[in-house]
Amino acid sequence: MSWKHLSVKKHKIWLWTAVNKHIPGVIAWVLGDRSSATFKLLWQIIGCWHSFFYVTDGYPVYPCFISNEDHIVSKTYMTRVEGENSRFSHYLARL
C-alpha cells in the first residue's frame, strides 16, 4: 500500500493504492489527503480481506490500522507497488 501525490492546480490530491502480488494491477484505490481518515476509506475496502501481511513504505498512518505482526516496512518490496502507481498515474494523467 502506498500513496502518491497528484497535483491538481492549488489543491493537493493523494492517490492511495493497494496492490496484490498475485494479481496484476491496482486492486483498490482512494483519492484524498494524507490523513488517517483517507487511509481509513482504503482500509475499509482491503481490511476485510484478511491478508497475512501488508507491505508499506512506513508512512506513520499505517500502524494505526495494521498490527505490528502483519506490517512489513520495506523499500525493496515496494518496487512492485511503485511500478503499479507509475502506470496508474500515467493513465490518470490522460483523463
Whether 7 has a pLDDT exceeding 60, the answer reads: no
- Look over the chain and give the mean of its residue pLDDT values, rounded to a whole number: 85
CB-based contact 18:29 (threshold 8 Å): yes
Whole-model pTM?
0.77
For residue 26, which of 93, 72, 92 has the smallest C-alpha distance?
A: 92
pLDDT tens per residue, range 40-80: 999 999 988 878 889 999 999 999 999 999 999 988 888 88
